[in-house]
Structure 1
Amino acid sequence: MAVTETAPIPKQRGEQLLDHAVRYTEERHWDVFAGTWLEYSEGRENCSCGKEDCPAPGAHPNVKDWAAQASGSAVQVRRIWGKHRTASILLPTGRTFDALDVPDSAGFLALARLQRMQRPLGPVTVTPDHRMMFFVLPGAGIKVADLLRKIGWQPSQLDLAARGEGEYVAAPPTRYGGRGSVQWAQPPTAANRWLPDVEELIDALAYACGREAAAERARRQV
């Protein structure tokens, strides 16, 4: 009798989250920590924090001292996600990387421009709330405002911010309630292990954010 090859059993979501969290610590040497998670009740997805109006359901810190709990140990990560299998994966910024936070409409424009210019790029995420995070070397937070002024922009004119020490970003495949999952627009690879400095990206990001701001003003005038 012929043997029928069965399809592999798909991993449960908790297993996927654990695998990704471990990979971030082992392959990228990033610290990670477990955030909130989604709970299902009466056909709805609710954040474990219990707030009905949670702005980032299932994708924010679960405790106040989250920074102290962030770990780069795969053993520790397995222990943490063993307790909360579906907890979100959050990455503290200001340690091995900072993140430049822009609207995704501007981010995709900047990403295409940077690729055409063959600029060095680190990993880039896109979130369900229409933001993009460009990973850069730590220290961007204290440089961005001055860099923008040097190239002719006032920081208040642009929807561009740096996430640094004391902040965090959500990592794929973390989900924001029913909005979808955080995804990689530019995934971590061996080629982008060495992150760019903020100076290498700021002009393209400022240009794209400036265009976005001008388009928004034009829409309001119609």
Structure 2
Amino acid sequence: MEETIPGTHAAQIAGQIPKQRGDSLLETAVRYAEERHWDVFPGTWLEAVDGVQRCSCGDPACAAPGAHPAREDWATLATGSATVARRMWQRQPTASILLPTGRTFDAICVPETAGFLALARMERLELTLGPVTLTPERRMQFFVLPGACAKLPDLLRKLGWAPGSLDLLALGEGAYVAAPPTRYGSRGAVQWACRPTPANRWLPDAEELISALAYACGRDR
């Protein structure tokens, strides 16, 4: 029998998203490196041009203004050293905070509506979650153990879904996510739907979450 998810449940979870702390980008980047041992690297930033927030890359049609790598060798710049991170953001305090995937974590990315549906289901199943971001592009990114990219096609096939049939993808080696409180132009800032805490330092495997995520994405089509 199909599971029914109350229409208000996702909205209730959305209302429970914690307010972001007022720390600077510099202090936040240092904390990610120091406390979570995540590699971090500074991306582009926003600049006011004729009263409009534009990306520092100079492209007026930038798809992710203020939230993408500033140079091609970004992967070699990413560091897990709090000291190096502090030095990087001291040079450009408004730079976005970007986290490379495929190192200490991969990220499974789904639409926001499916993400909230999945969170509601995971809550009922008492699944252990890692951190989860909510982006201004209305996407949710679930942090999981590295290797999700390689596993995802087979995991979806086992659940009866052809790879590519759902709006669900994994970000691994060679990709990155923008971390809170990075801003995307005028669209707002990245937030934590599930904030990093000592309790979720150990990340789940993609296999533990994929059923709920695929179910929610199927409902969201």
TM-score by length of 1: 0.89
1:1-222 residue pairs with structure 2 within 5 A? Answer: 16-213=24-221
CA distance in 2, matches of 1:96, 1:156: 25
Find the aligned partners of 2:208 and 2:78 in 1 and give their Cα distance. 28
Choose 1 or 2 for highest CA Rg.
1
Measured on the aligned residues, the alpha-carbon RMSD in Å equals: 0.9
Count of residues in correspondence between the two structures? 200
Provide the C-alpha distance between the structure 2 equivalents of 1:94 and 1:23, rounded to a whole number of angstroms: 20
Separation in 2 of the partners of 1:58 and 1:178?
A: 10
**For each residue in 1:26-80, what CA deviation from the matched residue of structure 2 results, as whole angstroms up to 9, or x when unmatched?**
1100000000000012110000000011010000000000000000111101111
Instruction: Quote the Cα distance in structure 2 between the aligned partners of 1:53 and 1:163.
Output: 24
| Ranges of 4+ aligned residues in structure 1 off by more than 4 Å | none
* Paired letter, 2:59: K
What secondary structure is seen at the aligned counterpart in 1 of 2:24? helix
Amino acid at match of 1:162: A
CA distance in 2, matches of 1:75, 1:27: 13
Give the letter for the 2:85 counterpart.
V
Structure 1: gaps of 5 or more residues: 1-12, 214-222
Task: Calculate the TM-score normalised by the size of structure 2.
Answer: 0.89
Query: Which AA in structure 2 matches 1:25?
Result: A
What letter is aligned with 1:124?
A: V
